[in-house]
Structures are given as structure tokens and as C-alpha cells.
Amino acid sequence: MRFSGSASYVTTRDLNLAVNAAITLQRPLLIKGEPGTGKTMLAEEVAAALGLPLFQWHIKSTTKAQQGLYEYDAVSRLRDSQLGEAKVADIGSYIVKGVLWQAFECETASVVLIDEIDKADIEFPNDLLRELDRMEFSVYETRQMVRARQRPVVVITSNNEKELPDAFLRRCFFHYIRFPDRETMKSIVDVHFPGLKPALLREALEVFFELREIPGLKKKPSTSELLDWLKLLLAEDIPPEVLRSKEQKAAIPPLHGALLKNEQDVHLFERLIFMARHNR
């Protein structure tokens, strides 16, 4: 099994290497990077490229590690007992399997995505140490041991909101997705909009990277925003000349709402434009 990007997902050489190392040595791969650089997409693409089933576990601030393994649905059992149902006697029928359990049970190897692990409580990664290391856990209620038939490929993403514990990091491989440079960006756009006019693309990239250079933006536009914007430009059929007209710098690029998502950023941008006009 070797991963080297796919038709719809452009990877860099270092990312390929990290993914392949993680697959070969069966370690979890921790992915960090700016929002919108395709961290979550990676797991989907790895699964698709290797032809493996994908199990996704999206973490929220209230998620507990236990929920990824299994949950004991005590409330249903209580209700059933009040109604006098027969299945109450079997505690196993109230155990709900979590994402990791499903992946462990899978006949083939699989890909597990643990998305935005930093959203959870600070102890969350520590609670999963053994489960990710040995790929096994025990179910207290039924005194049962669950072991992975095939060790899944685990991809973990983080947005850096919390520090992850050292013990957890030691068990992972780590890759930081850098913001793509102009060349990579071009190939990313090529993959998504194969028929895009070169002129439009060039102007759009110019505007886009210029926009990212503006100091003090709260949220710099990223790859996904660029793709959305291009989609809009295409839909509106805006000619490339409009993007870089003569009074460039003094004009607001069309449909800029797709690139700047923050009111303060739009204000800042408009002020800069205003100043540029003023200085002319």
C-alpha cells in the first residue's frame, strides 16, 4: 500500500512520505496546518486511494474518549426495564459501538479519521494512548476484549488550539501541512477546475496571494476559500481583465465575500483600498 496523492487531491512529496511512513510502520499520523489546507480531506483521499473503508470521528469539546470505543445506553435499558421487555437481561444489547470498535472489527484494513482532536478536553488524547498503541480495549460491562483484526491507518488532525501531551505525541508521526506555494496552488486549481482559462487563473492567484500578504487579517483566505471564489468567478463569468484593471489596488476584487469571511477583515481591506485611491 503506497499513497501518492489522487486525481482530486494534490500532495507534496513530504506529505506522501509521511503518509507512507505511517502506513508502513502502522503509527497514527498527526496532521497540523492552517485551516483550509485539506487536513480532513487527507484521510478521505487516503481511504479512497487505497480502497479502504473510512471511519470518521469528529471531535467536539464535549467528546469523551470512551465514546470512540463504545457507549452503554443505560437510559434505554432503564426504560425497557420499566416496560418489562425481555432483552433487558442481556446487557450486551445496550452497548453501542463507537468508531474505533467498528474499525477494529472491520474485515479489511481501514482508515480512521480523528478530526480536530484539539477540540476535546485536555485529557482526551491520554485516554486513547493504549487503544491507539495496542489497538485493543476491554469492555467493562460485558468483560469482553476487543482487538483490531487489522491495524487501521489512523489520521488525526489538530488546529493547535490545545497542546497535546508528550506521551501521545511520541506515539504519532507528525506532519505540518504548509500553505501551498504558487506552483502547488496552480496544480491544485488545475485539479479542481480543469478548463480554467490560464489568464483568469493567473490574475486570480495574483489577487489571492496579494490578499494574503495584507498584515493584520484575522483569517487569511486559504485554499478552500480560493476554490470557492474561483467557482463563483466562473459562475458569474467574470473576465480576467476585471481582476486586474488599470486602477488595480484601488478596486475591490469582485465577489470578495468568498475570500474574506470576517467583517473586520472586509473593513480593513476596504480602508486599505480607500487609502490606495487617496494616495493616487
Contacts with other proteins by CB under 8 A lie at: 13-14, 17-18, 20-21, 24-25, 27, 30, 32, 74-75, 78, 81-82, 160-162, 164, 166, 169-170, 172-176, 178, 183
Q: Minimum distance from CB of 218 to other proteins (Å)?
A: 8
| CA count, 13 A, side-chain hemisphere, 121 | 10
Tell me the closest approach of the beta carbon of residue 263 to other proteins, in angstroms.
13
163 vs 236, beta carbon nearer other proteins: 163
Q: Where are the beta strands (DSSP E) in 18-110?
A: 29-33, 54-58, 70-72, 95-97
Within the chain, strands assigned E span 29-33, 54-58, 70-72, 95-97, 111-115, 136-139, 144-147, 153-157, 173-177
* Residue 86 CB coordination number (10 Å): 7
Rounded to an integer, what is the distance from CA 109 to the centroid of its chain?
Answer: 21
Q: Which is nearer to other proteins, 157 or 203 (CB)?
A: 157
Spatial separation of the C-alpha atoms in residues 34 and 196, rounded to whole Å: 26
Q: Of the two residues 20 and 40, which places its CB atom closer to other proteins in the complex?
A: 20
**To the nearest whole angstrom, how small is the minimum distance from the Cβ of residue 55 to other proteins?**
23
CB of 118 to other proteins, least distance (A): 9
By beta-carbon proximity to other proteins, the closer residue of 212 and 231 is 212
For residues 128 and 218, what is the distance between their CA atoms, to the nearest angstrom? Answer: 34
Determine the 3-state secondary structure of 250 from DSSP. coil
Cβ-based nearer residue to other proteins, 105 or 161: 161
CB of 149 to other proteins, least distance (A): 22
Of the two residues 5 and 253, which places its CB atom closer to other proteins in the complex? 5
Q: Any idea how long the chain is? A: 280
